[in-house]
Chains A and B, each alone.
Chain A
């Protein structure tokens, strides 16, 4: 084995790891005769890195040479870092060899901009052609659309990949201007819109011709950086909702800003990544996608940031006590989903189980309902849980995780309470004009 490949793999993995998505979900396939590889719609994780993130795909860059100078990115032109490029052959062979050993579900291919977006995309197309045509590989491929690429090349990539993504990068136009001067809103949204249209066209083709080749069958996703710019949770969540509605995205990923470079425009290098904020955004994202919530139910003009102590669903429930308590034996499925402590699985089980019997609190436990949370919001046959005490301290203790409850108590008992709280508040420098930019960003013509 060429020693060179070790060096390349190290450099190009290191350069790719800040991309969040590593999912292999959204499509079912099995190997073609004479080929190799399958995909499962639920996705399969092959390992978990020491940071707890799933490893499903071989996530590397084609090259980390880059013509752009995005301030937040380790691969920016002006950063002094070792550079490397895979040849299409090297990368395809590595993918197949990892795949045969069941290390991975497939390939996640992104790239820095070498020479031009078109040249870079051509290299990516070559790699995927070797995999799909020579090896007859049916495993999962996630390809990143490089902003500024000709749509013909995007179309070619789309016929070879299962999923494509264009990174939104930053949640507003002004942030983008400040930190990624080579990327414009147009260069990001144009390929996203193009991919969406092609997926729609293709789905009508498939109705007409069952074996029509599929364009990006697992849909498209995007990601944005959280905490590098003053955009609020409210803006971000509205933008997210807009992306799901307007661009029919499968997933929006958030990545807590991890300072990798010293720059006056960015938070200082010792800034801790805002992991709690990222976590709250993912919780809210789930509520949008699976629980039937709308962004403006979770946050509004007056409340632009998530409550650091209580998750968004609980927070909503506490502000809408008029709809509770709900009787689990009668409430429709979509209402059950709004009860803290009841998830998709347990709501489905409740609906199934109550056909045969009247549910009791004891039965709910067997169905996987987290009674510790749900007890304040539900009744069984019109009765609340025996001995239920509604005291502020106990209620908060049940609704918060142990860790946040500790934080909460500390912040109200120590003299530095005000300081601790302000950690979670938005910086006051937020310009009022940017408040609704999240929505305008998507709807305005330019």
Chain B
């Protein structure tokens, strides 16, 4: 039986790297107190152990997950890895250790604090990706659709199927500013690629007028007698507003400030 050791693992941030941490943990019969990335300089109370990524070891761990704890558990772990939960690496390792011990029923252990933390993180991820399917706004630039988002979780892999099935004949690009990655699509292939930055070009006249039509629709559809900004805020938290056409995204600066002021009222 392995015990919590006075050790910190340091991995390269890849899923394979994390699987190698799991390998190490079993091989050395030890459980780290934390798993960190190399680029975060911290004063450590404990010894830091570098875990090198080795595809062979990673594949051995990966291949064992489905037979030991089922396909749902693997799916769950893959999703958990996309979340913004700061301790996701450590908790995934702890979860997998539980999976090897209890088998597929680990997925039912909802009151366990490790499972609970990961379930909530995955829910946050799925929730955010669901909301972005609606709140994301494309601009049409040279016949291509371009969108910017700033999600907390790494949602691009979860958005891929949805948008590819929605616009199979279009060319589109969704830029994730937080993770500096972009989902690019042209008929009929998609890829997620790293992008340093994205400058949105000035909209042409047609684009401008459809944005204006949408803002007009948005303003008109409200039933004033039921005005309820609190309800709106809980359904659509303010951090999403930044990239939404109806809240002034893509409007010229002076105009945007004006709408900001009115929105506050």
- A and B interact physically: yes
Residues of chain A at the chain B interface (Cβ within 8 Å): 1, 5-6, 9-10, 13-14, 17-18, 30-31, 33-38, 40, 42, 44-56, 58-59, 94, 97-98, 100-103, 105, 256, 258, 273, 275, 349, 352-353, 355-357, 359-360, 362-363, 366-367
Q: Are A13 and B137 closer than 8 Å at their CB atoms?
A: no
- Return the CB mask of B52-91 against A: 1 if under 8 Å, else 0: 0000000000000000000000000000000000000000
Residues of B within 8 A of A100 (CB): 138, 140, 145, 167, 170
The 0/1 profile, CB within 8 Å of A marked 1, for residues 242-256 of chain B is: 001110000000000
Partner of A355 from B105, B168, B225 at Cβ < 8 Å: B105
Chain A residue nearest to B111 in the complex (CB):
A363
Cβ of B213 within 8 Å of any chain A Cβ, yes or no, is: yes
Residue pair A31, B165 in contact (C-beta under 8 Å): yes
Contact A6 B216 (CB under 8 A): yes
Contacts of B205 in A (CB 8 A): 1
Q: Does the CB pair A47–B236 fall under 8 Å?
A: yes
**In the bound complex, what is the Cα–Cα distance between A275 and B113 (angstroms)?**
40
Quick one: which of A9, A38, A45, A52 contacts B217, CB cutoff 8 A? A9
Dominant secondary structure of chain B at its interface with chain A: helix
Interface size class of B (residues with CB under 8 A): 35 or more
Stretch among B28-36, B38-46, B227-235 lining the A interface:
B227-235
B interface with A by C-beta (< 8 Å): 102, 105, 108-111, 113, 116, 130-131, 133-140, 145, 147, 162, 165-170, 205-206, 209-210, 212-214, 216-218, 220-232, 235-236, 244-246
A131 to B94, CA, bound (A): 52
Q: Note all chain B residues with C-beta closer than 8 A to A48.
A: 231-232, 235-236
A387 CB to closest chain B CB (Å) equals 21
Enumerate chain B residues within 8 angstroms of A360, measured Cβ to Cβ: 111
Q: Is the interface of A mostly helix, strand, loop or mixed?
A: loop
| CB neighbours of A273 from chain B (8 A) | 225-226
Known: A17-B221, A51-B228. A101 touches B111 (CB 8 A): no
Nearest-CB residue, chain A, relative to B231: A52
Given contacts A51-B226, A352-B108, contact A101 B145 (CB under 8 A): yes
Question: Is the Cβ of B109 less than 8 Å from the Cβ of A357?
Answer: yes
When chains A and B are docked, how far (Å) is the Cα of A102 from the Cα of B213? 14
Q: How far is the CB of B245 from chain A (nearest CB, A)?
A: 7
Contacts of A40 in B (CB 8 A): 133, 162
Whether B138 pairs with A13 at a CB distance below 8 angstroms is: no
Task: Give the nearest-CB partner of A14 in chain B.
Answer: B220
Q: List 9 A-B contacts (CB under 8 A).
A: A13-B220, A48-B231, A97-B210, A98-B210, A102-B137, A102-B145, A275-B226, A356-B108, A367-B110
For A256, what are the chain B residues with a Cβ–Cβ distance below 8 Å?
226
User: B111 and A357: CB pair below 8 A?
Assistant: yes
Measured between beta carbons, the chain A residues less than 8 angstroms from B137 are: 101-103
A9-B216, A258-B223 are known contacts. Are A37 and B166 too (CB-CB below 8 A)? Answer: yes
Q: Is the CB of A356 within 8 A of B105?
A: yes
- Contact across chains for A38 and B166 when beta carbons are under 8 A apart: yes
Docked CA distance A10–B215 (Å): 11
Are B223 and A38 interface neighbours, CB within 8 A? Answer: no
List 12 extra interface pairs beyond A9-B217, A48-B232, A102-B136, CB under 8 A: A6-B212, A9-B220, A17-B220, A38-B166, A42-B130, A53-B222, A100-B145, A100-B167, A102-B138, A102-B145, A258-B226, A363-B110
Q: Which residues of B have CB within 8 Å of A35?
A: 168-169
Among A13, A44, A101, A357, contact of B245 (Cβ-Cβ < 8 Å): A101
Query: B109 — which chain A residues lie within 8 A by C-beta?
Result: 353, 356-357
A258 contact set on B, CB distance < 8 A:
223, 225-226
A366 and B110 form a contact (CB under 8 A)? yes
CA–CA, A42 and B206, complex, Å: 32
Contacts A6-B213, A45-B235, A101-B139; A353 near B110 (Cβ below 8 A): yes
Q: Are A52 and B232 in contact (CB under 8 A)?
A: yes
Query: Hey, which chain A residues are within 8 Å of B170, CB to CB?
Result: 36, 100
Shortest Cβ distance from A350 into B: residue: B110
Considering the chains assembled together, what is the distance between the CA atoms of A31 and B108 in angstroms?
Answer: 36
